[in-house]
Each structure stands twice: as C-alpha cells, then as structure tokens.
Amino acid sequence: MSIYSSKTTNTSILKPFSSADRERVKAAALNKVRFITPKEKGIVESVRVALEENNFHLIQEFTHFLREADLCDDEVVHIMKDARKIVHSLTPDFANLVEALLSVNWKKYSPAAIQAYTEFSIDVMIAHNSYIQIGITKLILNWIPSDQESAEWLDGCPSERVKAELETVHNLLNRILTAVPMAFDVVIDTIAAKFPYFKKPAHVTAGYLHNVLWLMDYKPVFEELLLQLVLQKLLILDVNAPRDEIEALKEETDDEDDKMEDEAIFQMDDVSAPPKPPQALEHPIGQMLDICLMKLFKFVDDKCRPQPDCSDDQRIAKSRFFKTLVHIFDEVLLPSHNTHHVQFVIFYACSIRPAYAEIFLTSLWQKVQNPNVSSIIRHAAVSYIASFLARAKFVPLSTITYYLKELSNWANNYINDSDEFSSKNSSLKANMVFFSVCQAMFYLIAFRARDLTINHKNLTLLNTLQLSRLAMCHFNPLRYCLPPVATAFAGVTRTHQLAYCHTVLERNARRKLATIYGHDKLMPEETLETFFPFDPYILPLSNKYIEPNYLVYRVHEMEESADNVAIETVRRKRGDSEMIEDDDFILADKRQKISELSKSQQFDKQFYYGASPGFNQ
C-alpha cells in the first residue's frame, strides 16, 4: 500500500486559535514587565519624573546613555532640541546630565547637529551661570592638540581640517562671551589652568598659543591679561632652554653637516639651488620656544604696524596696544632673571615705528631716575637701555647721543652730591645704580665707537661727557665693571684720547692679585652682576624678524689695524659671558676661572690692554 493516501487530511501542526484565546494572551502580555530604554523615555520625560516624583533614576540612566552611546546625527539633533525646551528646569541638581550633554563630541557630526549643540550650550549658560565653568572648560579643551596630531600642526599652523573645527569653537566662544559677560573671568582662569606643560611636544604648546592669540584677535578686551599670561609661560620655556645647551646641540649638528659636505666635496655644486631654509633646533624646548616666538612676533606685527590707509582710530588702537605691551614688559620681563630670547618681543615691536622706541626708552629712563624704584629694577632698566641702544639698527645716532648725555649728567650729579660726604660708603651694594649707569656708558661707547667717532662733531660731544672724571672718581666704577667692558672702553678712549684709564685698570688688577695671594685662596670678587638682554639671537625660525633690525658688532678700523683683531660673537648671561662666533665685543668673562690663573703672566693676559675692544691674544 502506498504511504501517500488519496484521502485529504489536515496535516498542519498549528492548533486552532480562537478570538477568546487571543484576548487572553494579549492581557497576559500587558501584565508582563517590559524595560524601556533611556532613548525611548527621552530627556523631557526623565526630567519630568525627577522634578515631580523626586526620582532621579531615569536621569542617571539617560546620563549614562549619553556618555556611552554612539549617537547618530538625528539623535543628537533630537536630544539637543528637547534639552533646549526644558533648559530652565536644568537646575544644579542636573549638573551631571548637563555635563554629559556638553561633553558630546560634536566635531564629528553634521552641521545641523553642531548647530543644535551650539544653541543648547548658549541657552543653558544664559539660564544657569553655574554651568559657565563646565561649558567654557569643554570648549577650551578643544584648543589642545593631541600628542599624535603633529602632522596637523606644521610650525604652529593648523591644517585646513583642524582650522575649520577650531573656527566653530571660536564662533561659539565668541557668542557665549557676547551673551554672558560674566564668562570673562572664567575664560581667563580656564586658559591659564589648561595651558600645556612646558615639556609637552612643541606642536601642543604652539597649537594652544595659536588659539590664545586667535581669541585676542576678535576679543581685544583680553589682550592685556592674556598677553601677560603668554609671556609668563614663554619665560618658563626660555629659562629651560639655556644658550649653552642650544649652542652645544647646534655645534653637533653643524659638525655632522660638515662631514657630509666633506664626503661630497668633489660633487658639482648646484648654483641654481635655492638657499636652505633654517633648520629646526634639536633642543625640544628651544624648538618650542622658537615656534611660539615666531607666532608671537607675527601677532605683534599685526597689532602694532599701522597700514598706509588705516584711520586715526586704528592708529590710536595700535599705539594703545604697544603701551599695553610696555606695561606688561615692566611687570613680567624687566624683573625676570636669566632670560635669553623672550625680551626680543619688545625689541621687535620697537622696530616697527620710531615712536615706539622713544616710548620704550623713556619708560626705562624714568625708572632709572626714580629713587623710589628698587635698585635691582633700576639696574635692569639701565642694562636694557644700554643693550637696546647698542644693538638696534633702527635707533638714530641722535637718540644714542641724547641718552649718553643723560647718563653722563646723572652720573656726574651723583658724584657731585657724594663729594660732601667723603666718608660715604663706596661699596657695590650701596651704589649699584651708579655703577650700572657707568658700565652702560662704557659699554655703549665701546660698542658704537665706529658711529660715535666718525667725525669731529661726535668726538667733541664725547669730550663733553667728562669720561675721565667718571673713570677716575673715588667710586672707581672700572673696578666693578665686567673686565671685558672695562678693557674695551679703555681701548676706545685711549685711541681717541678721550680718557686714560689703563693706570686705573692696572691698579685694580694689582689689588685683585694682592687679595688672592694674600689670603692664599680666591675671595669672592666684587663685580657688578650684569647682563645685556639683547645679545645675539640664536633661534633660527623666528630670527627672520630680528636679523634685519639687529646690529652685529664691527671692530673700528683704527683699532682693527692697530691690533689686527678677529671678529667673534660674544653673548652673556647675567654675571657670565661666553664666546660664540660672529659678534665680538666682550670676551668670555673669566671671573669664574681666576683661581686657575696662579701665574701673574696668565692673570695679565686676562686684563691685556690694547686699543681694540673684544680682542683675545
């Protein structure tokens, strides 16, 4: 018999289901527990339950959902619009929820989502000032490049993609500052707190500085406080990038380049090849400082340089900015010790307009003359005057002669006032400002001897300065000057018959020898601790702003023929001097090495008296 029957049968395994059964199953389903996701519940309902029933369970779930979920564009738009509807209900009890909303990574979403996020951010900070700190902090954190984004920040300039993202951040910050004036202090404090640590990669600090300068550009009200903060942070970089370390690394690099050139000595030179661009420093903090100063120089140029077609109001605004810069210099840079490059910000700003240099020099000279200012600040101000007048190409000779007269008059009046008290203390500590003024004159005359002795008129002016009286007075300023300055000044004045200082120098040298040999050990030498702040600038990238306006020392023709002296570059820290190539005015200060000079012949070499400043025999 066949297994397939011809009789039709119902082979379905489903049981018949009546309408009564359906109703019974539906009722059972309604009675079962069903979990609703925070997304389905929504922010509006969650806040309502928290306010009416004092139940924050849904708020906690929704907050966790915002932090963990990968939202799409439509979800971000929907959530932010709902949050705006209840923005006045988001009291400090909902701080975690608001922080989660403001922490949404809006940069990766569509313009519509970004717009929704922006509107909610502004509304919640206007409605509740307690959220200003959170909102501003979230925005400022977008200024800090990650350690892996160095390719996006070449020489401190962002790529187009990063620039577009930052433009959104700054537009939002601008709107917040316009709508919420009390956010001003929060922005200042947050920027200071989030400034990158000085040992971070160079592109991180440079990127952050880029955004700080950007903020000052569209909100000038921040200029004074933020510029002061920037210079303070750059000072930290400056003191952690000493000249000797930078020079040592540069010498190693130059040695490697010389070896490569020696290997390729027989290769044909490509005369059509463009000059090599300046190489970045191997010193990491030095490189960071170089990039940051390059950006700051450009910013100062934009703020201080008047355009030919600018209005009177614009010129006034630029002059006001420079005066602000001078005020910040007085507060931050002038009292700072052992700086090398940051002070060139004021040097470059003064090169933009002659009026700026006059304002700067007048400010310094007023401090020198004011007895109510501390002697340390007056001493530093004199050093800045001398170094600035010696190094600035843009300063006319008339300004140099004017300040030489002022310095001479002040010093001679000081001597006149002291004559009445012959027993007055003539120690370095009691007369620091006087010795500083004398050394400034000696330094400036020796450095600018070529210009100051170019004709009979200038020589006559030098004769009116009573240089011989200053050098021979009972205070004996040559004793306390740095030996290279005293020796260079003596050479110039002897060549042009302005004063004869060598007998004083010889007497001072014998006195030092007697001190050393009499006690059989080196006693602390009483020498004026001095630095010349505008000594050679060695940062390669930002040097393009300094080099055109910077005067390199040149030996006077008469002195050069008399002693046949090689020109070298010399730079100095406070209380120390070091040799570098190119600029030879002051020899290496060997005060730290006197103990090694046990023979009088070696000691005499240190104080060899020739006609040329900056010689070394």
Query: Which tens digits make up the pLDDT trace of 16-51?
Result: 556 666 666 555 544 444 444 556 678 999 999 999
User: Which sequence spans correspond to the domains of the chain?
Assistant: 32-109, 393-419+428-533
- pLDDT for 341 beyond 80: yes
- pLDDT tens-digit series, residues 85-118: 999 999 999 999 999 999 998 888 899 999 999 9
- Mean pLDDT lowest among 21-35, 286-300, 554-568: 554-568
- pLDDT for 346 beyond 90: yes
Q: How far is CA 459 from CA 27, 287, 462, 526, in A?
A: 115, 45, 5, 33
Spatial distance between the Cα atoms of 234 and 175, rounded to a whole number of angstroms: 29
Nearest to 411 by CA among 368, 381, 456: 368
| Higher local confidence (pLDDT), 321 or 610 | 321
Dihedral of CA atoms 590, 594, 598, 600 in degrees, nearest 10, equals 60
Q: How far is CA 114 from CA 110, 119, 120, in A?
A: 6, 9, 10
Residue carrying the six token digits 């010399």? 570
Nearest to 364 by CA among 348, 379, 345, 354: 379
- pLDDT tens-digit series, residues 351-391: 999 999 999 999 999 999 999 999 999 999 999 999 999 99
Question: How much is the mean pLDDT over the chain?
Answer: 81
Name the pTM for this structure: 0.81
Task: Write out the DSSP string of 116-174.
Answer: HHHHHHHHHHHH-GGGHHHHHHHHHHTTS--TT-GGGEETTEE-HHHHHHHHHHHHHHH
Across 141-159, average pLDDT:
91
Spatial distance between the Cα atoms of 375 and 499, rounded to a whole number of angstroms: 28
Strand boundaries in 455-609, DSSP class E:
569-573, 576-580
| Higher local confidence (pLDDT), 528 or 495 | 495
- pLDDT for 52 beyond 70: yes
At 450, the amino acid letter reads R
Across 229-237, average pLDDT:
96
